[in-house]
Chain A
Amino acid sequence: MALTLHGTRASNTDVLTPDFSGAIIQVVSTTKTDAFSTTSTSMTDITGLSVSITPSSTSNKILVTGMVVGSHSADKLSYYNLVRGSTNICTSTGASSLNLTVFQDTEAFSDFDRALLHMPINFLDSPSTTASTTYKMQIQTTEGTVFVNRRGLNSAVGATSTITVMEIAG
């Protein structure tokens, strides 16, 4: 079987420098298994839905993936942001009212407090740091109570939410 090693070699005396660009260097993941609720009308951390990673090079990227499961007590809106430290890193642009990572509109459902929305998170970040970096999800509601990992109606049935970060060689 032929073996191909990608890399650069300027002369016969050079050590071959492999090109690991795109390789996954490390993976860190957190799964929140219990519920969370808030009536906050400003962005607040979802307890337990954060993950920290220390990139090994400033040129490496961080792929953030995950899933947030949310519900609401009323036919209202709830907002979610993906945050690095205290900075929103993946928000829409050009919205007339509010730019967000993802939002949930339970007005669309007749049985709004039974609706459990699964919201995937995918973002390739360039933190340009080798310091420990925390990624987390924040949440707020326009009115009423917003829930994570359970439906608005009651806590009879539970779900899980996850955030995973992968360091990708640059």
Chain B
Amino acid sequence: MTIAVDARGAGQPSPALRAKRRRQRLTVLAFLTPWLLGVAIFFIYPLIDTVYLSFTRYDLLSPPKWIGLTNYRFMFTKDPQVVQAAYNTLWLVVILVTARVLFGLAVATLVTRLKSGLGLFRTVFYLPALVPPVAGVLAFVFLFNPATGPVNQILGALGLPQPLWFNDPSLSKPSLVMLGLWGVGDLMIIFLASLLDVPKEQYEAAALDGVNPWQRFRYVTLPNISPVLMFAAITGVIAALQYFTEAVVAASVASGQATTGGGNAALLGYPEGSTLTYAQWLYVMGFKNYYLGYASALAVVMFAVSLGVTLILLRRARSLVYGAEGTR
């Protein structure tokens, strides 16, 4: 008899308990409803629709027309500008992200070695990261203006060569990297917090073993900060894949033409297409020329690349989910 009651209790909860659970589920649902709608309307639906549209010709005026793989065939064989745009974006992914992570780490390390004024230095190094991107690009195009900019004035006064910077196809991307390094403060803050979190005992133990500075960095510092470096690298790659604002504004301002958003094809990616990015090409093809089917195909490829990068992050996210739970 008692066994039967127990079995019933385990298999089917009492009505009161069931009511309580239902109430709890409804509470969770109430808290999540706006976000769940957001997931459906701004994530799942457009993701599926983008894949569908990538197989169509679509210009907003007439309904989408199925054309199979034509968009993809055009992208991979007949569009020289997408090759240029993909190359420039890949260049930024590799060079800009690497440079920013290394420089951010160097600046953060420098701050940890300052015995006083840590707060002041941290503020100074962080400040440029706050500058609105458009304002930052305008400032840099002015600073690096070949004829009248302060950088070339100083270089000239020192008897050094005066490059064309944003007006030279081989220097326009490195100039954008310098802008990125000026705004390295966001990474610096994250790295600094991580460096200060490395347990002191580990450094003391290493000192007892008589390690040199490189070994201390390689075997004590690096293992402790590598999750943060990884996070910075992956979010950096995702940001570089959608690099848009700085390239667009630098090109339009350095060329001296009113091409906000890149409407004028001749000036796209000025100088000589060297700053045309993948995100900008998608924008121009889709929302200036209204080749929305082709833009969707470009978006699908971008999704595949960013998904690959995100999956690396999600493998790490396991520790993010449980690690955060452990801090309760």
A-B interaction: no
* B residues apposed to A, CB below 8 Å: none
* A residues apposed to B, CB below 8 Å: none
